[in-house]
Amino acid sequence: MEKIALITGASRGIGAATARLAAKHGWAVVVNYLANEAAAQGVVDTIRADGGTAIAVQGDVASEADILAMFQAVDTELGRISALVNNAGVVDVTARVDAMSTERLRRMFDTNVIGSIVCAREAVRRMSTRHGGSGGAIVNVSSAASRLGSAHQYVDYAAAKGAIDTFTIGLAREVAAEGIRVNAVRPGLIETDIHASGGLPDRVRDLSHQVPMLRGGTAGEVAEAIVWLMSPAASYTTATLMDVSGGR
Ligand code: NAD
């Protein structure tokens, strides 16, 4: 099987760390990005400088048309993918449910849930032995929020990640006999830019004391779990929700 991996939202954070680590493990990597072309190209350049293969492909995972165009570009430029990492995600920690706009809810679910499911659908159409594929691995990036509930102005995010957990288990069982493994990682408090984007720049520092390991994790530590789940070393692991949360 050719090792071609598509990682959504890979211009920074956990996605970028996963792209770099996957390339080190011999994957040809597709670095999907929403808007920051220069950052995505920076990830690609680093991988190429180390002798790896990578391309950057723009695409908004909240847009079906963008997802279809992205998969077509990958088919043409690299070939059929054998791994998908549904990493792109947004968070917003600025409103309790009684102040939450429907627009925010739609953005949360369009990006974090529907985007992941549509990408998974396109991946299954390419990986499944039913469709002439030779199998593959899908890793969904969920969150510890899915079991904590996140009653701190982002219950919608927790609900979206809960949907991802359930989708992971269901899809894993649906396609298990077609050569596709589906798993999720559930990061805890990880030091990335998502906290500033979501409205709480000091979140990792402020909440580290709640983590049994007394620190935030790094994007690289989450990437290690994702790349293992992508790899043949995880050949009998499917429908698993793996916490990478320092015990939180
Ligand atoms: P990040 O903000 O650095 O990365 C998220 C990436 O997704 C960004 O590159 C962003 O541009 C991209 N993205 C957002 N909307 C997109 C869209 N519509 N289309 C394409 N790309 C889009 O944050 P991160 O911490 O690296 O987050 C990666 C994943 O990890 C997310 O799914 C997030 O929910 C999850 N997660 C993060 C933490 C944490 O503490 N950092 C904890 C649990 C789960």
Domain-located, residue 190 = yes
User: Of all residues in the chain, what percent carry a pLDDT higher than 90?
Assistant: 96
CA distances from 66 to 83, 115, 153, 241, 242 (A): 19, 10, 30, 28, 29
The whole model's pTM is what? 0.98
Report whether residue 164 contacts ligand 1, using a CB cutoff of 6 Å.
no
| 248 in any annotated domain | no
Residue 158 lies in a domain: yes
Question: Looking at the domain assignment, is residue 61 inside a domain?
Answer: yes
**Predicted confidence band of residue 152 (pLDDT cuts 50, 70, 90):** confident
Q: How far apart are CA 84 and CA 9, in angstroms?
A: 12
34 within domain boundaries: yes
Per residue in 195-242, pLDDT (tens digit) is: 999 888 999 999 999 999 999 999 999 999 999 999 999 999 999 999
Residue 171 has pLDDT above 90, yes or no: yes
Known catalytic residue: 236?
A: no
Tens digits of residue pLDDT in 47-81: 999 999 999 999 999 999 999 999 999 999 999 99
CA-nearest residue, atom 1 of ligand 1: 194
The ipTM (two decimal places) reads 0.99
The total domain count for the chain is 1
Q: Can you tell me which atom of ligand 1 is nearest the CA of 111?
A: 18
CATH number, residue 148: 3.40.50.720
Domain boundaries, position 80: 4-243
Q: Distance between CA 57 and CA 33 in Å, rounded?
A: 6
The verdict on residue 8 lying in a domain is yes
**211 close to ligand 1 (CB < 6 Angstrom):** no
